[in-house]
């Protein structure tokens, strides 16, 4: 495409891809945005299941467990599982059906193989980007399945990073807090001062 420099945006797993790309082609990057990202290592795998459960009611947890193993047609099981799992990803539960639809398209077997391979190669770029001086934005909801500590770890790994934390917001900032999320992206891309939301 003959693009010499570009802004890399990595949401969720995309943040892992952005990290790897930055390690290989730092000079091709103008800016990086990490959105609700696992980021620079795999530490989030140690707690993400607990965070998912914490974002669900006990009844939703029970239903999710049931439908993960229910002896019903596979197509029905996938839909039911996605219905309950989706509620963990958003603060505004009315947005959950949008995520449920997406989750029905995920191949969890392939996901598992990908993460097995990342563990095999010991994916870890913690503190490997201190000399990376291009602007970096880390944006995340405070109610995300990814902990704030992970967002801060990403920001701390880069030499020129800003972090924006959004109240009442889960894994999909553009659904839970569209104005703040989009305004933060616009401000960052226009090189203006960000409202970080940190206390």
Distance (Å) of CA 1 to CA 4, 5, 6, 24: 9, 11, 11, 18
Tell me the two tokens of residue 34. 């990490």
Tell me the two tokens of residue 70. 């229910």
Region of poorest pLDDT, from 49-53, 121-125, 151-155, 193-197: 193-197
| Residue 194 binned pLDDT confidence (cut-offs 50, 70, 90) | confident
Distance (Å) of CA 36 to CA 3, 28, 58, 142: 26, 23, 25, 10
Entry pTM: 0.92
Mean pLDDT value of segment 43-52: 95
HSE value, Cβ hemisphere, 13 Å, CA-based, for 5:
8
| Residue 26 binned pLDDT confidence (cut-offs 50, 70, 90) | very high
pLDDT reported for residue 191: 87
pLDDT reported for residue 59: 95
| Residue 43 binned pLDDT confidence (cut-offs 50, 70, 90) | very high
pLDDT reported for residue 85: 96
Tell me the two tokens of residue 30. 């103008």
Indicate the DSSP class of residue 7.
Answer: E
Distance (Å) of CA 134 to CA 12, 26, 86, 126: 21, 9, 34, 17
């Amino acid at each position: 495409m003959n693009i010499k420099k570009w802004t890399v945006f990595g949401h969720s797993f995309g943040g892992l891809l952005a990290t790897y790309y930055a390690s290989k082609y730092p000079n091709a990057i103008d800016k990086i945005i990490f959105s609700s990202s696992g980021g620079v290592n795999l530490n989030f795998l140690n707690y993400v299941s607990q965070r998912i459960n914490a974002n669900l009611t006990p009844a939703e947890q029970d239903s999710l467990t049931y439908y993960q193993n229910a002896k019903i047609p596979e197509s029905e099981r996938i839909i039911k599982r996605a219905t309950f799992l989706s509620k963990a990803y958003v603060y505004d539960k009315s947005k959950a059906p949008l995520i449920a639809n997406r989750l029905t398209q995920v191949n969890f077997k392939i996901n598992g193989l990908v993460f097995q391979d990342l563990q095999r190669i010991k994916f870890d770029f913690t503190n490997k980007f201190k000399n990376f001086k291009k602007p970096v934005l880390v944006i995340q909801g405070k109610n995300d399945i990814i902990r704030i500590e992970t967002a801060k770890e990403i920001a701390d790994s880069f030499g020129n990073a800003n972090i924006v934390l959004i109240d009442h917001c889960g894994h999909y900032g553009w659904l839970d807090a569209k104005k703040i999320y989009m305004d933060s992206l616009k401000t960052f891309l226009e090189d203006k001062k960000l409202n970080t939301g940190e206390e």
